[in-house]
Structure 1
Amino acid sequence: MANRADTLLTLRNQIITAARNYAGLTKKTYLYVYGNEYFELLFAIGSFMHLTGVSTSLRAEDFYHKAITGTLSGQQLDFTKQQTMRKVKKKLPCLEQLPQLTKTTVCVVKDLSTNTLLYKLGLTNLEFTLGVSQPSFANKFPAGVYIPRSLRVKDKAIENSTDGDFVDFVLERNLDQRNAKYSRFTYYDMNKKFPVELYDLLEDKLRLELEQA
Structure 2
Amino acid sequence: MGKAQIIRRIHSAAIKYKNYFVGNTYMFVYQNQYIEVMFKKSSFLHLTGVSTNISAENFFEHALIRNGLRPQEVLFGQDHPYDLADKKTQYLTDLYKITITDVVIATDIQTMTFKYSIGITNLEFIICLGDDTDLEGRLKSKCKVPYSFRVEEIENNKFNKLYDVTHIFKKKTGEKKYNVLTYGNIEDVKLLPMEIQQKIELD
Relative to the length of structure 2, the TM-score reads 0.89
Partner of 1:35: 31
The residue type paired with residue 149 of structure 2 is L
In structure 1, the residue corresponding to 2:97 is in which secondary structure?
A: helix
Counterpart CA distance in 2 for 1:180 and 1:148 is: 21
Partner of 1:144: 142
Q: Structure 1 151/7 Cα, relative in aligned 2: closer, same or farther at 3 Å? A: same
Q: Deviations along 1:39-65, whole A, 9 cap, x unmatched? A: 000001111111101011111111000
Partner of 1:81: 78
Query: Contact 2:133–2:139 (CA<8 Å) still a contact in 1?
Result: no
Q: Which runs of 5+ in 2 are unaligned?
A: none
Q: Deviations along 1:106-131, whole A, 9 cap, x unmatched? A: 01000111122111111111111100
Q: CA deviation at 1:192?
A: 5.2
Query: Over aligned residue pairs, what C-alpha RMSD do you find?
Result: 2.1
Partner of 1:13: 8
How many matched pairs? 197
Q: Which has the higher strand share?
A: 2
Counterpart CA distance in 2 for 1:67 and 1:186 is: 26
Counterpart CA distance in 1 for 2:154 and 2:175 is: 37
Q: Structure 1 14/21 Cα, relative in aligned 2: closer, same or farther at 3 Å? A: same
Partner of 1:23: 18
Partner of 1:211: none
Q: Structure 1 180/124 Cα, relative in aligned 2: closer, same or farther at 3 Å? A: same
Query: Contact 2:99–2:183 (CA<8 Å) still a contact in 1?
Result: yes
In structure 1, the residue corresponding to 2:51 is in which secondary structure?
A: coil
Query: Contact 1:113–1:160 (CA<8 Å) still a contact in 2?
Result: yes
Matches within 5 A, 1:97-116: 97-116=94-113
Query: Contact 1:8–1:75 (CA<8 Å) still a contact in 2?
Result: no
Q: Deviations along 1:157-187, whole A, 9 cap, x unmatched? A: 6961111101000000011xx4431001100
* 1:67 correspondence with 2:63: yes
Query: Contact 1:127–1:154 (CA<8 Å) still a contact in 2?
Result: no
* 1:93 correspondence with 2:82: no
Q: Structure 1 157/130 Cα, relative in aligned 2: closer, same or farther at 3 Å? A: farther
Query: Contact 2:10–2:63 (CA<8 Å) still a contact in 1?
Result: yes
Larger Rg: 1
Residue 173 (structure 1) aligned to one of 171, 174, 190: 171
Counterpart CA distance in 2 for 1:17 and 1:88 is: 15
Counterpart CA distance in 1 for 2:38 and 2:149 is: 15
Partner of 1:52: 48
Q: Deviations along 1:130-169, whole A, 9 cap, x unmatched? A: 000112227684x310000000115336961111101000
Q: Structure 1 146/87 Cα, relative in aligned 2: closer, same or farther at 3 Å? A: same
* 1:186 correspondence with 2:187: no
In structure 1, the residue corresponding to 2:154 is in which secondary structure?
A: coil
Counterpart CA distance in 1 for 2:105 and 2:156 is: 9
Q: Structure 1 22/166 Cα, relative in aligned 2: closer, same or farther at 3 Å? A: same
Counterpart CA distance in 2 for 1:81 and 1:107 is: 31
Partner of 1:117: 114
Partner of 2:128: 131
Q: CA deviation at 1:92?
A: 0.5
The residue type paired with residue 125 of structure 1 is N
